[in-house]
Structure 1
Amino acid sequence: MARPREFDEADALGKAMQVFWSKGYEGAGISDLLEAMKIARGSLYKAFGDKKGLFLASLKQYETSCIEPGLQLLNDKNIPNGAHRIQALLETVVTVVEDDNDRRGCFLCNTAVDQAPHDPEISKICQDMMGKMVQGFYCALKDADEHKDLDEETLQKKGMGLNIAYNGLRVMVKAGYASEDVRKTINTILAEFDLLA
């Protein structure tokens, strides 16, 4: 009979995600991960296989803890005008800087730049997650008062454009732009996509 795990896997995974997010895949050593997760080397390998397995699980954790809440906001019918949902999501980028002084950017964007070019499996995961965000923006655009008469193809293109703009905001944060500059950029994005109330 298998022995039960001696650690909280979700908690340990959340801590590993923070290490990868801050240091990147190459920069995160096994010792860094073990120290943050508070587990033994054998437990890490038994639970996740190897460092890459842990990284992939961390990406999935990021999807659950960060991407899915963003998608829920973009699809929130309690906010009838989709333009307001999009604005609320874009403004979370500034909130992270102002409230937490978090300059790590987006773990997904970081991974897409750092690991996806060299690893087809990670590339596919990144594309799938970004595709979900594009669909989220598309759904919000369909409910935007300003875009009620646009055809499906145009809405899809605008959804892709908004996802690119959103990722760009996250890169601005990582690059150290002041929050007021990020806010100005958000207003520019909203104006360019005809989403200003």
Structure 2
Amino acid sequence: MSSQAANDRRPVGRPREFDPEVALERAMRLFWAKGYEGASLSDLTAAMGINRATMYANFGSKEELFRRALDRYENGAAACGFTTLNRPTIKEAVEGLLYGSLEALTAPEHPGCFTVVGALASSDESESVRQALSESRNERLRAWTQRFEQAQAQGEIPAEPSASALARYVLTVLHGMTVQARGGATLDELREMVDVALGALPFASSR
């Protein structure tokens, strides 16, 4: 039997199948780590294990890929920012949000809040991306404002400061923790930040 005939009879290996969900997860994690502008097309295709043609065919532009990655983040890793809203008291809800974020913020695989990291060092060319990230943050702000309004209506906390101011304060602390964590703050240092932040809230005396 000739070597050519032997080669013809060898089973041909199946090409590796492309999984859009796996690719999107990898893109999300890269955007999460580097931000929109920090993640180049070469970085993205390498992380996703595909070429540019496949990326464009399945996800459109880099901006569209980022928006889909943002949606994935909001429906997955970011869900904790909403689930603690359902805790019995506003004190438990806020503590759950801030204390619950500590380990995630300092874990290498979770480099802070996607909506904060993604917007860092964005240029004017990325205005639509900034707007998408801003809307994501505003959605969380609206949800927490409503939760503080509920707590005020139920007499858990005073009517002043306003619910919107309290919600902005809590989320500003969370976003600041992201920046601090990326700058090298330790778990203990971030926990101390949370302790101080919670001490400034109206329910502090009940702790």
TM range (shorter): 0.7 to 0.9
Deviations 1:33-64 (A, max 9, x none): 22322233222101111222212221222222
Relative distance call for 1:102 and 1:172 in structure 2 (3 A) is farther
Q: Residue 3 of structure 1 aligns with which residue?
A: none
Relative distance call for 1:119 and 1:43 in structure 2 (3 A) is same
Residues 116 and 122, structure 1, Cα contact 8 Å, conserved in 2: no
Secondary structure of the residue aligned to 1:150 is: coil
Amino acid of the structure 2 residue aligned with 1:105: G
In 1, distance between residues paired with 2:101 and 2:182?
11
- Aligned: 1:132 with 2:161: no
- Cα RMSD (Å) of the superposition? 2.5
Deviations 1:114-162 (A, max 9, x none): 22754331222122111122123223323377744416x8111211121
- Aligned: 1:158 with 2:166: yes
Deviations 1:57-105 (A, max 9, x none): 212222222333311222x1xx21121111111012312256x345722
In 1, distance between residues paired with 2:108 and 2:21?
25
Larger Rg belongs to: 2
Q: 1:85 aligns with which of 78, 93, 97?
A: 93
Relative distance call for 1:150 and 1:138 in structure 2 (3 A) is same
TM-score (norm 1): 0.82
In 2, distance between residues paired with 1:30 and 1:8?
19
Secondary structure of the residue aligned to 1:171 is: helix
Residues 158 and 202, structure 2, Cα contact 8 Å, conserved in 1: no
Counterparts of 1:140-179 in structure 2, within 5 Å, are 140-141=147-148, 142-143=150-151, 147-150=156-159, 154-179=162-187
Q: Residue 106 of structure 1 aligns with which residue?
A: 113
Q: Residue 121 of structure 1 aligns with which residue?
A: 128
Counterparts of 1:44-63 in structure 2, within 5 Å, are 44-63=55-74
Residues 105 and 178, structure 2, Cα contact 8 Å, conserved in 1: no
